[in-house]
Structure 1
Amino acid sequence: MAPTARRSAPAKTRSAIPQLSWREPQPAPIVLVSGPEEVCAERAIAGLRDYLRAEDPSLEVSDIRADDYTQGTLLAVTSPSLFGEPRLVRVSGVEKCSDAFLSEALSYLAAPQEGATVVMRHTGATVRGKKLLDAIRAGQGGGAEIACPAVKRDSDRFDFAAGEFQAARKRIAPVALRSLVSAFADDLTELAAACQQLIADVPGDITEQVVERYYGGRVETSAFTVADTAIAGRSGEALLALRHALASGADPVPLVAAIASKLRTMARVAGSREPAAALAGRLGLKDWQVDRARRDLVGWSESTLGLAIQAAARADAEVKGASRDPVFALERLVTVISTRAPYGS
């Protein structure tokens, strides 16, 4: 029997244009804002507007929908006016663009209008407009790209929030930052808004007490509070936090995921005596994650950690449909972790 041929993965398109940070956007004749993370994309586009307006307050701003496009619009809004004001054209919905827009946008790349900045927003939700994206990335039109990939991992959310305070030259205590990220683990838009509120409202450094005062209700019912109290062995407190979280509308699936994530980090760090920075670099973690995992490991053994990881795997399957009672599955998991013993023993 002949071996089955392996289908090679499609090669990634290499970009020949500058790649810019969404925190520090700069204008170009064509700016492609790509990727699904709307918070970052909105910041990038607003930053471009502010940059251009600071250079010339007479900036003309126009908005176009690529999916509901009227022929000739792109050329009309990019053409110089009588007084030659700079133009910013924001194009949304390129991932669902019409044939008319695609044709005119490709033609525009061959001869961009002087003094015009055209921002094209493509979420990556579809492959529609790929020919246009490939042309921009190949350098046609003298463009630049601002990538806005999805922020999914805890470490990515932590980096996002830390960047908010760094950009504002505002100091926040690491514990306060972690509490804030945990409180808004499911919604980057809300996390961004919380960061900006603290930056605007708090005159000095942001401490854990400040975060508790502003967002204490969210922190108390976060998935990581449930995980932290269970891992610390505070069984009654952990079950109470779990019930608060569920009463606040928390989904059992991310609750189990948060607990399992902490247990996996503990397992990866267990037994290593490397300095935190070296171990973090080798494992792809942050220094604070290594330090926290080492503190969490106090009182745990290889056997009890293995038991907890097995319980988390079972609970993960149960809350995803293997059980008719996901709440019981969660309570059993929290009990196993907080008592460090098999359920019912």
Structure 2
Amino acid sequence: MAAPRRSSPSKSAIRQVPWRDPRPAPIVLVSGPEDVCAERAIASLRDYVRAEDPAVEVTDLRADDYVAGTLLTVTSPSLFGEPRLVRVFGVEKASDPFLTEALAYLEAPQDGATVVLRHTGASVRGKKLLDAVRSGKADAIEIACPAIKRDSDRYDFAAAEFAAVNKRIAPPALRALVSAFSDDLTELAAACQQLIADVDGDVTDDIVRRYYGGRVETTAFAVADTAIAGRYGEALITLRHALASGADPVPLVAAIASKLRTMARVAGLRESSAAIAARIGVKDWQVDRARRDLAGWNEESLGRAIQAAARADAEVKGASRDPIFALERLVTIVATRSEFGS
């Protein structure tokens, strides 16, 4: 029996606007799963509209708990003609009455009203409405907020936080900060904003470690760095600190495996860091770091470590009853660059 065909994403005919620099329109679709970016975009829209007219009326609606007739009521002009900003959340769970009225509203948007539709993409619910918005028939824009999962994307996100306010952060400090909050973008954003608010002048590596030292020392990449550097005793201590602070074995293994894979992809290449980075989809500094990490490694030891990482990955995801032992064995193989128990 043939597998069911997946529908491809609808092409958008409307203007795409970056979430860091949103502008109002009669219809604004804020799409994608990254809530941090979506919240920033929606808050910026509010500030933009309010700066143009402090009398703006702001109304929040839930598309999944919608009372029929509300959308038309809150977008209709008031007696004094103040602008209206209507923020609709939960469109991915929208009720039938909301979808019916929202589709009708697209045909005749109210003058002076900005309607923001927040759809996380968590379901296909509301697809007809999204397609209608993206068709270009209504005066609409889209602010896409895709998931930020890769280390390089988190690095770019944090760098942009500081660049947005013209504040300098040293590259080692930025790397330490991103590593410390590699599993939670909300916390990373909050940490960036705290440093921006608190620190006069440039943000250095010492400042990041003073603020988030405990977190930095027990992050998954701290474990990976010490193990790959061959510092066996320190790697085990860092690993135990990470586990004691509640770290999950899965991202710990993933961090080690990720760095080993980058080392393998960089090994033997003689191109510039920029050229390699562009070809394999990482940052220049990651190529430079992988090249430094390769000191003391050879093809055999690197291959053995990558195989050990693959085995540990399966074991911490359920193939073993003792994921902690699997993780410690991996750290031992990587840090000693030899077979376990040899």
Q: Which amino acid aligns with 2:202?
A: D
Moved over 6 A (4+): 4-7
Aligned partner of residue 46 in structure 2, secondary structure: helix
Match of 2:321 among 306, 321, 324: 324
Q: What is aligned with 2:284?
A: 287
Query: Does 2:172 align with 1:175?
Result: yes
String of CA shifts for 1:215-262, please: whole Å, max 9, x gaps.
001000000000000000000000000000000000001100010000
Q: What is aligned with 1:160?
A: 157
State how far apart, in whole Å, the 1-side matches of 2:208 and 2:7 are: 46
Match of 1:204 among 201, 210, 214: 201
String of CA shifts for 1:253-294, please: whole Å, max 9, x gaps.
110001000000000000001010111111111101101100
User: What is the TM-score of this pair, normalised by structure 1?
Assistant: 0.97
State how far apart, in whole Å, the 1-side matches of 2:69 and 2:125 are: 20
Query: Does 2:30 align with 1:33?
Result: yes
State how far apart, in whole Å, the 2-side matches of 1:186 and 1:31 are: 29
CA drift at 1:7: 6.2
Match of 1:237 among 234, 239, 243: 234
User: Would you say how many aligned residue pairs link Structure 1 and Structure 2?
Assistant: 342
Aligned partner of residue 136 in structure 2, secondary structure: coil
User: What is the TM-score of this pair, normalised by structure 2?
Assistant: 0.98
Aligned partner of residue 67 in structure 1, secondary structure: coil
CA drift at 1:344: 0.6
State how far apart, in whole Å, the 1-side matches of 2:281 and 2:152 are: 10
Query: Does 2:334 align with 1:337?
Result: yes
Match of 1:13 among 6, 10, 14: 10
The 5 Å alignment of 1:29-178 reads 29-178=26-175
Q: Report the RMSD for the aligned CA atoms in angstroms.
A: 1.1
State how far apart, in whole Å, the 2-side matches of 1:25 and 1:320 are: 40
String of CA shifts for 1:155-204, please: whole Å, max 9, x gaps.
11111111111111111111111100110111110000000000010011
State how far apart, in whole Å, the 2-side matches of 1:155 and 1:197 are: 22
Q: Which amino acid aligns with 1:226?
A: V
Residues 173, 146 of structure 1: alpha-carbon distance in 2 compared, 3 angstrom cutoff: same
Q: Which amino acid aligns with 1:186?
A: D
String of CA shifts for 1:112-164, please: whole Å, max 9, x gaps.
01110000001111111111000000013210001111111111111111111
Q: Which amino acid aligns with 2:101?
A: E
Match of 1:254 among 245, 251, 262: 251
State how far apart, in whole Å, the 1-side matches of 2:74 and 2:232 are: 64
State how far apart, in whole Å, the 2-side matches of 1:185 and 1:270 are: 25
Query: Does 2:306 align with 1:302?
Result: no
Q: Which amino acid aligns with 2:75?
A: T
State how far apart, in whole Å, the 2-side matches of 1:237 and 1:231 are: 11
Query: Does 2:272 align with 1:275?
Result: yes
Aligned partner of residue 139 in structure 1, secondary structure: coil
State how far apart, in whole Å, the 1-side matches of 2:7 and 2:108 are: 31
Stretches of structure 1 lacking an aligned partner (at least 5 in a row):
none
String of CA shifts for 1:98-118, please: whole Å, max 9, x gaps.
111111100100010111000
